[in-house]
Amino acid sequence: MIMKKKYRHILVNSSAEIDFLNRENERLLKDALLDFMGEDRFAGANPRVIKTIDRNNFVMNCMRGYERDIVLALAFAKEINGVKTGFYTLKISGTIKGLAK
Amino acid sequence: MQLTTTALTVPDGERMEYFDIIDYSGHEEDPERLAGLLGYRKIFELGKDALLVDAKDADSLARSGKKLIIRDSSEKGLLIHALKNSAVIGILANSNLDADVMETVKSLRKLIILSASALTSTNKHTRIANLGKMRRVVRDCMHKKLKLAISSFAGQKEYMLSSLQLVEIAKFAGADEETARSMSGALGDFL
């Protein structure tokens, strides 16, 4: 029996406008998270940008149990592709719909 | 999707309120809107709501009418004297504090304040060194039951933090869950 994967969705606001539809930017963000978390925790978390709301707001998801690590790692990511920015985690929810509440 | 941040709730249903201090002015955003977005009850500004001063200047600046936060110093006598000033709310300390100073802070019911920017606005090696010092301070203060607070002290917009992140950084610095939440809300009682 295949076990259902459980995710946590994180609503993130960035101070600078960054286009996460550009895969390169997403890769650079993941590199910044990997640098802080280490390979073991990063592999367990498996974070991804899953929805771009606008150029300042996006939704990431990660495996359940690792959301706190992602929140902390985002606090230390300050530059993406030469653009200085701050990432503010606004909300964590089990569903994308829950982020909108 | 309307973006707001709900304040974190503690298990018994009481609504926690979080506060932050930033170290820059001239930001174009409405402070109340920014506080609402990041999950704070209020964001204070250094220079406007409080001053960060050296211990030797505390007496002269107390007349300004603003609350004072004094920087840690190796001059124990000056620190203890400054702490007795009613305008002083606490010490900004990111490294080991003297035992007598900690006793004075405890007896006067002042704060030991930690700056998250010591971790977020430095390179990796400096951050690791600062983290080690901060963890020792948190461990000692928790052991002596001193009141702790943490704020971002962001010098630029990029170094600001949401309330969620501030609580996580307090835990990263060695606090348990309950202490981390109270650290993020402690400034509200003093400012």
Beta carbons of A76 and B168 less than 8 Å apart: no
Q: Is residue B12 part of a domain?
A: no
Q: Is residue B42 part of a domain?
A: yes
Which residues contact residue A1 at a Cβ distance below 8 angstroms, ignoring those fewer than 6 apart?
A: none
**If we measure between CA atoms, which residue out of B21, A16, A69, B116 comes closest to residue A92?**
A69
- Angle, CA B90 vertex, CA B88 and CA B91 arms, to 5°: 120
Q: Is residue B77 part of a domain?
A: yes
Give chain B's domain count.
1
Class of the A7-100 domain? alpha beta
In angstroms, the CA A79 to CA A29 distance is: 9
- What DSSP string describes B43-86? EEEBTTTEEEE-GGGHHHHGGGSSEEEEEP-S-HHHHHHHHTST
Residue in chain A closest to B177 (alpha carbons) equals A68
Q: Is residue B13 part of a domain?
A: no
In angstroms, the CA B134 to CA B113 distance is: 11
ipTM metric: 0.90
Task: Check CB contact of A11 with chain B, cutoff 8 Å.
Answer: yes
Predicted structure pTM score? 0.89
Which CATH number characterizes residue B91's domain?
Answer: 3.20.20.140
Beta carbons of A92 and B160 less than 8 Å apart: no
- Closest approach of chain A CAs to the CA of B89, in angstroms? 27
pLDDT in tens for each of the 191 residues of chain B?
444 444 343 344 456 799 999 987 666 677 788 899 999 999 999 888 899 999 888 888 888 888 999 998 888 899 999 999 999 999 998 777 889 999 999 999 999 999 999 999 888 899 999 999 999 999 999 999 999 999 999 988 899 999 999 999 999 999 999 999 999 999 988 88
Q: Is residue B11 part of a domain?
A: no
Domain residue limits, chain A? 7-100
Task: Check CB contact of A10 with chain B, cutoff 8 Å.
Answer: no
- What DSSP string describes B107-119? HHT-EEEEETHHH
Q: Is residue B83 part of a domain?
A: yes
Q: Is residue B176 part of a domain?
A: yes
Beta carbons of B164 and A11 less than 8 Å apart: no
Question: Residue B79: which domain range?
Answer: 21-189
Q: Is residue B8 part of a domain?
A: no
Beta carbons of A88 and B161 less than 8 Å apart: yes
